[in-house]
Structure 1
Amino acid sequence: MPAYVGAIKVTSVSSSSIFHIGDAYSIQPMSTAKTYAGGGSFNTGEGINVHLGHSSTFVYDKDFIDQGITTQG
């Protein structure tokens, strides 16, 4: 069903982003990334206390590819 959209202000769109308004059959990413981080790395908020005695991040990945990029045309 078509939609009517009011005013939109786009401040920025990065190189691997998708800016979408309206109907779409399929939207797929054109880049992938893998992030490794230790315990307590992505905590957000106020007054967070993280106590880690010993923290290890294992980055071995035997299959190498988690999400392949293919294009449909």
Structure 2
Amino acid sequence: MPAILGSLKVINISSGGVLSIGDVGLISPKTTAKTYAGSGSFNTGDFPQTYNVISSTNTNDNDVLDENIIAAI
């Protein structure tokens, strides 16, 4: 089904990122990363406002592999 878009604002696309507009059969990133951040760290928009009194981030990770990338050609 076709996508109808209004305005689109792309700030940044990293070297392993994927930007897709419209119909997509398969989206396959080529890299993965694990990022730890506290409350309100990844807010987006032109004028974000956050009010966090106490923020704690749990970084315990017991599994060995999180995302296994399988290249699809």
User: Same fold judged by TM-score > 0.5?
Assistant: yes
Tell me whether 1:24 sits opposite 2:24 in the alignment. yes
Pick the aligned partner of 1:50 from 47, 54, 62: 54
- Please list every run of 5 or more consecutive structure 2 residues that lacks an aligned counterpart in the other structure: 41-48
Amino acid of the structure 2 residue aligned with 1:48:
N
How many residues get paired? 65
Identity %: 31
Amino acid of the structure 1 residue aligned with 2:30:
M
Tell me whether 1:12 sits opposite 2:16 in the alignment. no
**Distance 1:57-1:13 versus aligned 2 partners, 3 A rule:** closer
Residue 27 of structure 2 aligns to a residue whose secondary structure is: coil
8 Å Cα contact 2:13/2:19 also seen in 1: yes
TM-score, normalising length: structure 2: 0.55
